[in-house]
Amino acid sequence: MFKRSISLALVLCMMLAALAGCGDAAQENAVGDTAAVQETEAETKDALAARLDVSDNLPEADFGGSTFMICGDDAYLSHYVVEEQTGEVVNDAVFQRNLNVQERYNVSIDANVFPETDIMKNVKNSVLAADDAYQMIACHIIMQGMAAVDGTMYNWYDLPHVNFDQPWWSDSTTEDLTYKNMAFIAIGDFGLSSISSTYCMFYNKDLAVEYNLPNMYEVVANGDWTLDKMMELCDGVYTDLNGDGTRDLADKHGLITDCKSAANSYLWAFGKKIATQKADGTYDLSYYDDKLVSIVEKMYNLYYESGYVFTDPTSWGDAFVPAFTEGRAMFFNGQFRHAVGTLRDVEFDFGIIPYPKWDDAQDNYYTSVDGGHEGLAIPKSVQDKEYIGIMAEVLNAESWKLVVPAYYDTALKYKGARDEESIAIIDMLMEARIFDFGYVYGGWGCVFWLQYMMEGATKDITSYYEKNFGAYEKTMEKVFEAFDTYTVE
């Protein structure tokens, strides 16, 4: 089930259509390309304008000046409330969203923010005190998931007016985060960090020409962008630029990547899940199998035996950015936020593509979102369910209509991305995000085991699994029990 404006298949078709006619005369190509770009831009702008006409199907109400208080992450305060319009597109969209909601329902929107490690502690204290201090939680999704066993969160499906079929809610809320028609955590567009932290790959177009790479968008659109293909294209790029005889970040590499979250993201890119939803709404812990063993072995080969990849077990992703911005890497594992931020001023052209598929048999491209992004939850102590349901729905709806276009279609697409094909990839990856139940609710468990294998330069996932899976399984049993024993007073 796909709800966003451009489906995965349609995006690929659009890319192939844009790439067609390469043998035509140069003048015809120029005219055709210009017309295609103009048409695409017009369609995109029409689609953005059409969002405003999508009804949220909410009733009108007057909530008498009540304050809707968000308990959130101090790193994302500007996603919740801003003081004034400044001319910056995302800031002004947040301001307008809140103004629209406040005027429509006679409410005030405010936020108390804390370091990510303290958010759920404050929520738990509030729930125990039954003080109704907070009406919605926006929090680091793993820390939020770990709090599920505390009985602090309300079932989203028990709220009136919340409709997960609407485009402002991620499909993964129902497909990956719902347990027996219950969900403590939802992914909605009010949590803007779930967009900015989406994983993708960047490539240097100048180096692609230098090393005679094929048209990367055509490779992606034809379904040929696999791990083996990436390894093939990276081979031969490495150059010891500083002549010190040691592979380091000052050299030229086929791929630069960290051993941490960027490595974990390959798990979902390869079509694996930690927990798979069954027909009865429960989950199989499907992490370990022959495919996982093969993935770890192949990743180890990529990271440590190939000779064209640079990684550093001690460093996180942002430490690798300068090597890409300074033109010393063909490919870079990054997030959308890099396109908006550090890559905007590079002198060479870059493209955005998905992580590769595991093999040709894999139907689609997939991606994940870095664990620091926000999930959305409702404290169990909330009193007025009608009020909470309307406000949660309208804030996500207005975010989809105003804030997401400002970030995704303006700040990201037209400023960060440098070509129409990259824009199509961004649309595709928004469809392809996976929020895995076993990742969200599994604490610091096996979601990080691929990372630990790469950090430790080992491929013995079987021994690690046999030693550690019992503890993870007990963690998940407590999560399942929290759902099974959930009641509403």
pLDDT tens, residue by residue, 209-242:
999 999 999 999 999 999 999 999 999 999 999 8
What's the domain count of the chain? 2
Residues 375 and 333 in one domain: no
User: Does residue 146 lie in a domain region?
Assistant: yes
Q: What is the mean pLDDT of the chain?
A: 89
Does 240 share its domain with 307? yes
Percent of the chain exceeding pLDDT 90 equals 75
Percent of the chain with pLDDT over 70: 90
Tell me the per-residue pLDDT of 458-475, one tens digit each, with 9 for 90 and over.
Answer: 999 999 999 999 999 999
pLDDT, position 2: 42
431 found inside a domain: no
Q: What is the pLDDT of residue 342?
A: 87
- Give CA–CA dist 166/163, Å, rounded: 6
Residue 7 is predicted with a pLDDT of 53
Residue 54 lies in a domain: no
Question: Worst-scoring range by mean pLDDT, 56-60, 119-123, 274-278, 442-446?
Answer: 442-446
328 with 392, same domain: the answer is no
Is the domain of 82 the same as that of 169? yes
Please give the pLDDT value at position 20: 53
Residue with the larger pLDDT of the pair 384 and 340: 384
User: Going by DSSP bridges, is the β-strand pair 350-353/199-204 parallel, antiparallel, or unpaired?
Assistant: antiparallel
At 444, the pLDDT band (50, 70, 90 cuts) reads confident
Give the domain extent around 70.
66-195+371-416
At which residue do the structure tokens 């304008």 appear?
49
Sheet of 374-377, strand order:
107-114, 66-73, 136-140, 374-377
Q: In the prediction, which pLDDT does 31 show? A: 39
Domain assignment present for 46:
no
Cα separation, 297 vs 304, whole angstroms: 10
- Residue 55, Ramachandran bin (φ over 0: left; ψ between -120 and 50: alpha; else beta): beta
Backbone angles phi, psi at 376, to 5 degrees: -115, 135
pLDDT at 18: 53
Provide the b/e sequence for 32-41 (b: ≥16 CB within 10 Å).
eeeebeeeee
pLDDT confidence of 5, banded at 50, 70, 90?
A: very low
Q: Are residues 386 and 357 in the same domain?
A: no
Q: Can you point out the beta strands (E) in 59-188?
A: 66-73, 107-114, 136-140
d(CA 473, CA 445): 9
pLDDT at 26: 32
- Distance CA(64)–CA(61), nearest Å, equals 9
In this structure, the answer to whether residues 136 and 238 fall within a common structural domain is no
**Do the domain assignments include residue 71?**
yes
Does any domain span residue 35? no
pLDDT at 320: 85
Q: How distant, in Å, are the alpha carbons of 70, 82, 162, 231, 410 from that of 99? A: 16, 10, 21, 50, 21
What is the pLDDT, as a whole number, of residue 32? 45
Q: Which amino acid is at 421?
A: E
CATH number at residue 222: 3.40.190.10
Phi, psi of 334 (to 5 degrees): -140, -165
Q: Indicate whether 272 and 337 sit together in one domain.
A: yes
Q: What is the pLDDT of residue 420?
A: 83
Domain end residue (candidates: 416, 431, 453):
416
The sheet carrying 309-310 orders its strands as 309-310, 253-256, 329-335, 199-204, 350-353
* 143 lies in the same domain as 261: no
Q: How far apart are CA 145 and CA 142, in angstroms?
A: 5
Instruction: Look at 9-23, 78-92, 259-273, 417-431 and tell me which has the smallest mean pLDDT.
Output: 9-23
Does residue 329 surpass a pLDDT of 60?
yes
Whether residue 392 is contained in a domain is answered as: yes
Per-residue pLDDT at 453 exceeds 80:
yes
pLDDT in tens, 292-324: 999 999 999 999 999 999 998 888 878 889 999
Bridge partners of 367, per DSSP, are: 433
Q: What pLDDT, on the 0 to 100 scale, is given for residue 408?
A: 84
Q: What is the model's pLDDT at position 12?
A: 59
Whether 178 and 207 map to the same domain: the answer is: no
Q: What pTM does this model have?
A: 0.89
Do 325 and 409 belong to one domain? no
Q: Are 332 and 257 in contact (CB under 8 A)?
A: yes
- What pLDDT was estimated at residue 40? 54
- Distance, CA of 141 to CA of 147 (rounded, Å): 10
Residues 235 and 376 in one domain: no
The model's pLDDT over 150-186, given as tens digits with 9 standing for 90+, comes to 999 999 999 999 999 999 999 989 999 999 999 999 9
Label residue 50 by pLDDT band (50, 70, 90): confident
Residues 298 and 209 in one domain: yes
Tokens encoding 305: 């035996």
Q: Is residue 79 part of a domain?
A: yes
Q: Which two tokens stand for residue 245?
A: 């005889």
Q: From the centroid of its chain, how far is CA 433?
A: 6
pLDDT (0 to 100) of residue 8: 55
Residue 489, pLDDT above cutoff 80: no
Report the pLDDT value the prediction gives residue 23, as an integer from 0 to 100.
37
